[in-house]
């Protein structure tokens, strides 16, 4: 079965330190990979995506993610965390061969940045 | 401003009282979808629509109905709400092709529903 795992329910980071939010996936074909962010009491916002090409993808708000095919991972990273980065982060995957364009979602990781 | 608008944002109702959550987008998107978000379960898709008059079940369609009579609107209908439908609901939309195939969904602000 196709699935997305975000192994950490919560990640705590001190402001200014680098952060990593982990995501691993299992899909039958080649994936499209995405990260979304949800700020408190808001809807989800698209952050970045991997479609093809360079394995390191840069997105909004200084975030980046690295696609690792052998480890089937797509970890979200930022070199220097801000308190305003505190939010809920979702990883999502789509099988390229899925004609219904369905996304498979991880359960989300709460990121807390402490001043 | 490009947006997905949901109403109501908050609703408390009682078991069995029919309700509709409206969703409207102003971006001429073909694809629209409803999700529910529950703690520890992430997002689960309820229904989606690839175009006008075309709707399909998602992962958790039981107890819900949808319609897509116009491109911009995609209402979610709970004919007889039950307490297990207490949740946070999100509507989302995207272009097909580049948009949806790239996964760039635009989400509404959410509708928090409580069924007593």
Residues A25-69 have pLDDT tens digits of: 998 878 899 999 999 988 999 999 998 889 999 999 999 999 999
Burial (CB count within 10 angstroms: exposed 0-12, middle 13-18, buried 19+), residue A5: middle
Q: Which of B103, B105, B109, B112 to mutate to test the interface with A (most CBs of A within 10 A)?
A: B103
Q: Decide: B109 and A39 in contact? Cβ < 8 Å.
A: no
B95 touches chain A (CB under 8 A): no
* DSSP single-letter state for residue B107: E
The pLDDT of residue B76 is above 80: yes
pLDDT of residue A102: 84
Mean of the pLDDT values across residues B108-116? 97
Please compute, for residue A96, the number of CA atoms within 13 A of its CA located in the half-sphere on the CB side. Answer: 7
Cross-chain residue pair A103–B103, CB shorter than 8 Å: yes
In whole angstroms, give the CA distance from residue A35 to residue B78: 30
Q: Say which residue the tokens 């989800």 belong to.
A: A44
How many Cβ pairs within 8 Å bridge chains A and B?
59
B56 touches chain A (CB under 8 A): yes
Name the average pLDDT for chain A: 93
- The model's confidence at residue B43, banded by pLDDT at 50, 70 and 90, is very high
Closest CA to B27 of B5, B52, B46, B47: B5
Burial (CB count within 10 angstroms: exposed 0-12, middle 13-18, buried 19+), residue A40: exposed
Burial (CB count within 10 angstroms: exposed 0-12, middle 13-18, buried 19+), residue B36: buried
Distance, C-alpha A29 to centroid of its chain: 19
Q: Which of A25, A34, A44 to mutate to test the interface with B (most CBs of B within 10 A)?
A: A44
pLDDT of residue A41: 86
Cross-chain residue pair B43–A90, CB shorter than 8 Å: yes
In whole angstroms, give the CA distance from residue A96 to residue A113: 34
Inter-CA distances, A59 with A78, A108, B89, Å: 10, 18, 26
The pLDDT of residue B100 is above 70: no
The pLDDT of residue A100 is above 90: no
Burial (CB count within 10 angstroms: exposed 0-12, middle 13-18, buried 19+), residue A6: buried
pLDDT of residue B42: 85
Please give the share of chain B, as a percent, with pLDDT higher than 70.
96
In whole angstroms, give the CA distance from residue A98 to residue A68: 21
pLDDT of residue B99: 58
Name the average pLDDT for chain B: 93
């Amino acid at each position: 079965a196709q699935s997305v795992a975000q192994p950490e329910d919560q990640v705590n980071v001190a402001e200014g330190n680098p952060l990593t939010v982990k995501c691993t996936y299992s899909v039958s074909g080649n994936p499209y990979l995405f990260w979304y962010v949800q700020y408190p009491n808001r809807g989800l916002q698209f952050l970045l995506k991997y479609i093809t090409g360079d394995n390191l993808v840069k997105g909004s708000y200084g975030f980046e993610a690295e696609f690792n095919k052998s480890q089937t991972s797509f970890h979200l990273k930022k070199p220097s965390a801000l308190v305003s980065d505190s939010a809920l982060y979702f990883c999502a995957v789509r099988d390229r061969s899925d004609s219904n364009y369905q996304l498979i979602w991880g359960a989300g990781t709460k990121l807390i940045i402490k001043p | 401003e490009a947006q997905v608008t949901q109403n109501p944002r908050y609703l408390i109702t009682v078991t069995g009282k029919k309700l509709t959550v409206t969703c409207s987008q102003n971006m001429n998107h073909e694809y629209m979808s409803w999700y529910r978000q529950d703690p520890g379960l992430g997002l689960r898709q309820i229904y989606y629509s690839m175009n006008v008059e075309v709707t399909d079940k998602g992962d958790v369609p039981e107890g819900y109905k949808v319609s897509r009579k116009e491109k911009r609107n995609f209402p979610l209908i709970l004919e007889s709400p039950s307490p297990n439908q207490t949740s946070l609901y999100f509507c989302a939309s995207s272009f097909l092709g580049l948009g949806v195939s790239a996964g760039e969904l635009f989400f509404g602000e959410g509708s928090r529903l409580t069924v007593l």
